[in-house]
Amino acid sequence: MTSVSNRDLCRFFYVEASDHYFACNYCGTRRKQLPSSGYANLINHLKDKHPNYVDAYNAHQRRQAGSLTAHGFVNPTASNMYQWMEWVVDRNISLSEVDDPLTRNMSKQKQICSKTLKVFMGKVVAAVEAKISSEMTSFFGIMFDR
């Protein structure tokens, strides 16, 4: 694989924790990195504590080759909402579960509230209804049984 930029490595191996602090996805160590100062501090942590980080990154990129997320086509907010919706629907749990502090602590997803989830689920329903009605205009009917 071609050489990987420090920026790409840091985006993959770190998540922004708070003002100018980033948490390592491997071990959770928080490192300070000021804006416009490069990525040396973060990369040095990877080199010192996780020497096979480039191999891990390349392996992940090969596995994700067919994924739209790997090509940057999926908005992170949309991806986060989809994953919360998938979790709630697949487990058949109430929407308020996303507000539970224990659930939030155990999830790797960005936190959302149940009201936001409900709004986005409503938008998905509207989009699916519109798609179905446009494709099945003459083939679809509703029948009520008493």
Segment 83-106 shows an average pLDDT of 89
| pLDDT tens column, 31-45 | 988 888 888 999 999
Both 10 and 66 in one domain: the answer is: yes
Both 58 and 95 in one domain: the answer is: no
CB 109 within 8 A of CB 84: yes
Given 15, 36, 71, which residue is the final one in a domain?
A: 71
Q: 50-83 burial, b for 16+ CB within 10 Å, e for fewer? A: beebeeebeeeeeeeeeeeeeeeeeeeeeeebee
Q: Total domain count for the chain?
A: 2
Segment 83-98 shows an average pLDDT of 90
**Assigned domain for 53 exists:** yes
- Identify the domain containing residue 46 by its residue range: 6-71
Both 12 and 63 in one domain: the answer is: yes
Residues 6+ positions from 53 with CB-CB distance below 8 Å: 9, 13, 26, 46, 47
**Assigned domain for 98 exists:** yes
| pLDDT tens column, 49-83 | 999 998 888 888 777 766 655 555 677 888 889 88
CA distances in angstroms from 78 to 34, 69, 83, 121, listed in the order given: 28, 11, 9, 11
**Assigned domain for 146 exists:** no
Three-state SS at 131 = helix
